[in-house]
Each structure stands twice: as structure tokens, then as C-alpha cells.
Amino acid sequence: MKAALSHKSNHKSNHKLQADKVILALDVDSFARAKYFVDKLCTRIKIFKVGLQIFTLCGPEIIKYIRKKKAEVFLDLKFYDIPNTVSNAVRQAVRLNVKMMTLHISGGREMLKRAQEAAKEEARFLKIERPLLIGVTVLTSQPSTAEEVLNLAKIGLDCGLDGVVCSAREVAFLKEKLDRKFIAITPGIRPPGSARDDQKRTMTAKEALAAGSDFIVVGRPILEAKDPVDAAERLIWDQVQNAVGTRSKMRLRSVPM
């Protein structure tokens, strides 16, 4: 009986662990629609991506709404401007208490370093945890080489960023080549056999997590589903759980006996 209870407890714990790896992209055209998905899914998905579309429409109100629902925010505005402008924008984002935010690594070393310093100073002043700063390498809608992504990732991490956004096809390569710990966030996730839409470099959730992605960003496969809750559950259980199992087996095989 105790063993059964323990197994059940671990099962729930694993479910939560894998749900925490999924970020839902709130790429919708109204505040009401955004709130609908947050309300529907906040007990299953704990991080929501606020991008250019919904932020331009709603501003900080959508971030406040997500936080009120006890979920986290991935602020994906891809800051790219002169260093002073970006550092001031980062300070404002820190005040919104987001979990992480993106910057274009192509903005240059000075921009990235100033952003990192601004985030650290503002978080210390507010006595809150500093948001994770995530560098954008190459958009998944654009063709790219692994070496190009690697070079950009190196620049970002050297400037104090916590991780990078990259295609799932580059994750394993980056994890192997970069001799440091970093967070890899992967957009362009599609279910097996689905259309790629405008994404050029896509993978399934299972493939991305098995390759080493720490978080996966999913939008249309859930937002356009007839039953968004069912689509989210299928993603978390069928693909994410299997991927973690695959990664564990790969690690076991690599351990010398």
C-alpha cells in the first residue's frame, strides 16, 4: 500500500515537472482571447509567453493578469536597440516581475552587458529575483547554420546571458560545444505530421526535449485545437513524458560500467 502511494505521488510530481517545461505562446488578437487561454490552462501550464502582438495590444495588463493567476511570464519582446534604450527597457521589465525576457544577441556586446547590469541592479533594488535573460540567436523562421547559432550563443553567454533561444535542431550541438551550463528555449514545436506554417526549423516536443531543450514554446497546436485543454494534456503526457524517458535512457547508456 505504501509503495502504491509513493508511486502515485511520484507520478503527480513528474507530471508537474514536465508541465513546467512547456511555455504557451499567447499569440492571439484580443485581451479576452488571451485571458480565455490563461484561465483554461493555468492549472496545467505555468509559463505563458507574452510576445509583440499581445503586448502591443494589452501592454503590462496581460502580464499582471497572468501573475494574478499565479503563473509566470516569458516576456518575448526581443529587445534590440542602442544600449541605453535596451537597458532602460530591461529595468521596466524587471519591475513587471517576469520570469524571463529575450534580447537579440545581434544587438552587440555592449547592449547585452548593459542589459545584464540593469537587470541585476533593478532586481537588487526591488529585492526580487532577477529575471533570466535569454538571447535570441537566429529566428526559427529563417534558415541558419549550426556554426552561426553557436557563434551567437557564445557571444550572448560571454556577456552574462542565462541562455539562448534556438531551434531544436541546434540544441544538442550547442550543449556539446559550449563548456558551461545554460538554458535552451526552443520555439517552432509542432505535433508529428502537422504543418510547419512559417517555421523553417521545427521539431516535435519529444524530439526537442530529448535533444536537450530546457523549455519548449508551443502556440498554434494548442491555440487552434478544438479542445485546448486536451491538446495541452496530450503534449505534456504523450510527448514530454516520453522525451524525458528517452533522455534518461541515453544518459544511462553513456555511463561507463
> Is 120 labeled as catalytic in the residue annotation?
no
- In the three-class reduction of DSSP (H, G, I as helix; E, B as strand; rest coil), residue 126 is classed as helix
Give me the helices (H) in 20-167, please.
31-41, 52-58, 60-68, 83-95, 109-126, 146-158
| First-residue to last-residue Cα distance in the chain | 34
Among the listed residues 21, 35, 49, 78, the single catalytic one is 78
Name the residue among 78, 68, 4 with its Cα closest to residue 42.
68
93: which 3 cell numbers?
521589465
How many CB atoms within 10 Å of residue 178? 15
Do residues 204 and 239 make contact, with C-beta atoms less than 8 angstroms apart? Answer: yes
Distance, in Å, from the CA atom of 178 to the CA atom of 106, rounded to the nearest integer, reads: 19
Percentage helix, strand, coil, to 5, in the chain? 55, 15, 30
H or E element that contains 177? helix 168-177
Name the residue among 243, 215, 237 with its Cα closest to residue 22.
215
- In the three-class reduction of DSSP (H, G, I as helix; E, B as strand; rest coil), residue 237 is classed as helix
Query: Which residues are designated catalytic?
Result: 78
